Chain A
Amino acid sequence: MQEALIQRLRSAVGHEHVTARPDDLRNYAYDGSIDRAAPEAVVFPADAAQVAAVVRACEELRCPYVARGAGTGLSGGAIAEFGGVLISTARMRRILDIDAANRTALVEPGVVNAHISAAVATLGLRFVPDPSSQSACTIGGNVAENAGGLHCLAYGVTSNHVLGCEIVTPQGEIVWLGGRENETAGYDLLGVFIGSEGTLGIATKIAVKLTPQPETTRTLLAVFDSVDDASKAVSDIIAAGIIPAALEMMDRLSTQAIEAYVHAGFPTDAGAILIADVDGLQESVGETAAAIGDVCRRDGAREVRLAKDEAERERIWRGRKSAFGAMGRFSPSYYVQDGVIPRTKLPEVLAEVEAIGRRYGLLIANVFHAGDGNIHPLIAFDEKVPAQVDAAIAAGADILRACVARGGSISGEHGIGIEKRDCMNVQYAPSDLALMAKLKAVFNPGGLCNPAKMFPTSRRCGESARTLQRADLPEGIAPAAGPAF
């Protein structure tokens, strides 16, 4: 990396908040996904002005840069694939303002998702989006990926709970998209920005919507002998006009992985379990929970259990949120898919997932947001065995094709990043992608802001494309400017 750039970075954020020591950089080569590439420097800016100074330095000296929150992303969004500068938001973690009367808060991007709800709990409020990694992931990353969560069935995803963002554009300007009110005039640039995976700029302040805590919440656990029965129950619950706050399914492998250490009280011999949260007014919640229980029993549930207290509720949800990490009990790595399918297709897609696993000789556990048809097959593999890596990636692509073939999508909430970019062609026509590229070029004309993420490369979907080391910046991004994907 050019010494001149390091000097610029140091004067932008302070000498001690820049590291280019190769040993330090090793720990910034990974996130929660399977890709790896070390940046050439990591900077820790304290505010928007410092982020802007870093961005301007990178743009002027033609160096790629990527923002990173907690590094829990599942699609490689925060991987510095082409080296360059990694901009960590670890020092930008203040909750700047809480406006209880208007139910909003203004936070910095490095604030941990769960810390927002913790900070407003005594006011009877919460921040609804709750990805499984909410105890660690940051709101900046949630905005970049338009993260979902367990309770997005009833409440919506991140974009439904963010009112505005202050961002640093790749030109180094500090601008606001949206505001702190519910509606803003003109183009919905905030809608464009949320979920843009760090390719359009870097959020430096985020105005979030706060939601009153429900009067009461009941959690129900239903145990089924087969995934088919559980899938049918999901469809029947929604068909009955019931919208639970959350409706989650896990198959036997998932519950076995979780019970191996976390002990959430899940049966390990069941074909599948359903977890439903019902919230609202005291009177209606009991009725709704009973109605869900009835549907489950009618569809063959062998047991329906209502969490008796808050401790049991917490244990059940902690178990569910542990599902990904618990895969470590089976294999050193997992490759998680994030397909979305129409709910009614659950049984046939799951049967196909199982067949794909058999075909590649890989263990695949299933855990998913059943209510909105967002499936998370967890493909177990060992990253030390190259053949298994290739097989896992190929199996993942087959699963995504199966989702798209049934009218679904390749990503619900984890983003495209590096991992799924070569499958974008499966979902979108070239003209769709060209329009997206034009939009990107408006914000990010040099292409240096999180380069090459989200857009397909020359590889085919499923072709082994795991990033394991720093790559050369593709032509067209540097040094000449221009739209690129």
Chain B
Amino acid sequence: MPGVSPGYSGPERPALADLDLCTRCGLCEQACPTYRLLGFEPDSPRGRIFLMKQVALGEAEINQHLADHLYRCLGCRACETVCPAGVPFGRLLEYGRFQVEQHRDLAPHSKGWMIFRQLAFRLVLPRRWLFRALMWPSRAIASVPGFAAAFDTLPRGNRLRRLVDMLPRRDKHVEPSASAMPPVTPAIGRRRAVVGLLLGCVMDSLFRHTHEATVRVLARNGCDVRVPTGQWCCGALNVHAGERAIAKDLARANIDAFGRAPLDAIIVNSAGCGAVMKEYGELLKDDSEYAQPALAFAARVKDVTEFLAETSLVSGFAKLPIAVTYQDACHLVHGQGISHQPRALLQAIPGLRYIELRNASQCCGAAGVYSLTHPHLAQAILDEKIEAVLETSADVVATANPGCSMQLQAGLAQRGSRMRVRHVVEILDEAYAARSR
């Protein structure tokens, strides 16, 4: 029978001990974006766990059905936050997808997408120069003011327009990006810590301004900020798609790059990257050489909002009379349990009016490459999100992950809204900058 295999192979599989934590109580169902939308049990966390467990127990085989439902999951991990037993769903999903990926005859997506994904994940992503070269047109459009607006003449449903709509918009006060990030930026005033900054792939190519804001805010808060060479993409997209081998290579490269520097913390301003980097220990647990360094590395990883909230912020904010709402990045709130920190940072800015977003911790539908693999579902989830965002009438919607930023940007552009999308740290930077101006 084509597309059917008896069971899991190798040690990297959904662990029965993890699967056994689920008692099928069902409390996860309404936390799940796909279940809420589709009302279909195989598209719920409990349903997916059950399918994985059936394979583990030999009651069912790895087949197209399992593949479809594991890949229809956004991987937002909202189910983990509400699970009373702490089922590590994200981990189960990664291993489940890895097992599916071992079967070439099972196609989780269309043929065209699979070819594109292989090229992107295996050929382009691991090579910094190639990735950056291919991202050049996007960077160019994003960096020339008004260029993106030219695409507004295209019809709403146009794919090119949607891609352009996703590109980040910069604030006027921000200087054009320097060609390269400085390897060391000294602390302003008394030095309180030495930290390293992960540049990543998408962040480095399209969100250089966020990195620059991150460095300025960290330096102002007494950090020597180092940007080690040899670092590159964190491997999150690969891990989430079940491509573990390349993810491990990327993880090892980052561990080598940061490992040499005596750093108090490794700062990440992309929630998706941070969540995976905190799990490098799990990713490399069977690597005799890297298992220990991976654990040590993971222990030092901090999201920038987590780090800043722990170190009392240096005063020096100007009044910033804007209304801001905050969309939780799934891999920050559900993946890393960070929710009050970014809110506290925003609320520390004088004059800023903070408005809590309805259902802020629900996914926006970006979910890595999900908006490319499942455009209709992603759009339905985005529509619901934008509805709630517009309800706030805020000037700015803050978030902490490039995928979320781009998805929200596109959603707001679709509605013709002028609301801005910014990283939390950019708003802090703006408040500091307004003082010095």
Distance (whole angstroms) from the CB of B330 to the closest CB of chain A: 18
Residues of B within 8 A of A137 (CB): 26
B63: chain A residues at CB < 8 Å are: 23
B83 with A93: CB separation less than 8 A: no
A332-B84 in contact (CB<8A):
no
**A368 proximity list for chain B (CB < 8 A):** none
Determine if B393 is an interface residue (Cβ-Cβ < 8 Å).
Answer: no
Q: How many A-B residue pairs have CB under 8 A?
A: 100
Which chain B residues border A71 with CB–CB below 8 Å? 26, 29, 41
Is A323 touching B84 in the complex (CB atoms < 8 A)?
yes
Name the residue of chain A whose CB is nearest to the CB of B28. Answer: A136
Q: A27 and B27: CB pair below 8 A?
A: no
A117 within 8 A of B: no
Please give me the residue from chain B that is nearest to A311 by CB atom: B340
A24 at the interface (CB under 8 A from B): yes
Supposing A27-B47, A72-B25, A325-B27 touch, asked if A90 and B39 sit within 8 A by C-beta, the answer is yes
Separation of A381 and B31 alpha carbons in the complex (Å):
27
Is A110 part of the binding interface, using a Cβ–Cβ cutoff of 8 Å?
A: yes
Contact at B85–A329, with CB atoms within 8 Å? yes
Among all A-B residue pairs, the 4 with the closest Cβ atoms? A90-B39, A328-B85, A325-B84, A261-B86
B85 cross-chain contacts in A, Cβ below 8 A: 261, 325-329
Any chain B CB within 8 A of the CB of A6? Answer: no
Q: Which of A400-439 contact B (CB under 8 A)?
A: none
Counting CB contacts under 8 A, is A304 at the interface? no
Q: Is the CB of A70 within 8 A of B26?
A: yes
Q: Could you tell me which residues of chain A, from 298 to 349, have a CB within 8 Å of some CB in chain B?
A: 321-329, 331-334
Q: Which positions 23-71 of chain B face chain A at CB distance < 8 Å?
A: 23-31, 39-42, 47, 50-51, 54, 57, 60, 63, 65
By the criterion CB–CB under 8 Å, are A136 and B87 in contact?
no
Is A51 located at the chain interface by the 8 A CB criterion? no
Q: Does A20 contact B (CB under 8 A)?
A: no
Interface check B123, CB cutoff 8 A:
no
Cβ contacts under 8 Å, A136 to chain B? 26-30
Question: Is B29's CB under 8 angstroms from A70's CB?
Answer: yes
Cα distance, A305 to B41, chains bound together (Å): 41
Q: Is B82 an interface residue (CB 8 A)?
A: yes
Indicate if the CB atoms of A384 and B41 lie closer than 8 Å. no
Residues of A within 8 A of B23 (CB): 324-325, 327-328, 332-334
- Return chain A residues, CB-CB under 8 Å to B86: 260-262, 328-329
B interface size (C-beta, 8 A)? 30
State whether A261 touches B26 (Cβ < 8 A). Answer: no
- A439 CA to B65 CA in the complex, in Å? 43
B residues within 8 A CB of A146? none
- Point out the residue from B31, B42, B51, B84 that lies within 8 Å of A328, measured CB to CB: B84
Contact, CB under 8 Å: A135 / B82: yes
Q: Does B344 contact A (CB under 8 A)?
A: no
- List 16 A-B residue pairs with CB atoms under 8 Å apart, sorted by A's residue number: A23-B42, A24-B42, A27-B51, A70-B26, A71-B26, A71-B29, A72-B26, A91-B39, A112-B30, A135-B27, A135-B30, A136-B26, A261-B84, A262-B84, A323-B84, A328-B86
- Answer whether residue A44 sits at the interface, using C-beta atoms and an 8 A cutoff: yes
Binary B-proximity of A47-74 (CB < 8 A = 1, otherwise 0)? 0000000000000000000000011100
Q: Which residues of A contact B387 (CB under 8 A)?
A: none
CA distance A408 to B102 in the complex (A): 56
**Are B39 and A332 interface neighbours, CB within 8 A?**
no
The proximity string for A residues 163-183 relative to B, scoring 1 for CB distances below 8 Å and 0 otherwise, is 000000000000000000000
A322 CA to B40 CA in the complex, in Å?
A: 24
Complexed CA–CA distance, A322 and B28 (Å): 11
B20 within 8 A of A: yes
A26 & B39 in contact (Cβ 8 Å cutoff): no
A32:B30 contact, CB within 8 angstroms? no
Cβ of A193 < 8 Å from any Cβ of B?
A: no
Answer yes or no: B261 CB below 8 A from chain A CBs: no
Residues on A with C-beta less than 8 A from B27 are 72, 133, 135-136, 321-322, 325
> Which of chain B's residues have a CB closer than 8 A to the CB of A258?
84
Q: Is B22 an interface residue (CB 8 A)?
A: yes
| Residue among B23, B26, B60 facing the most chain A CB atoms (10 A cut-off) | B23
Flag whether B119 is at the interface (Cβ < 8 A).
no
Distance in angstroms between the alpha carbons of A141 and B28 in the assembled complex: 17
Other than the given A26-B54, A88-B39, A136-B26, 6 more pairs (CB < 8 A) read A72-B29, A136-B27, A323-B84, A324-B25, A325-B27, A328-B84
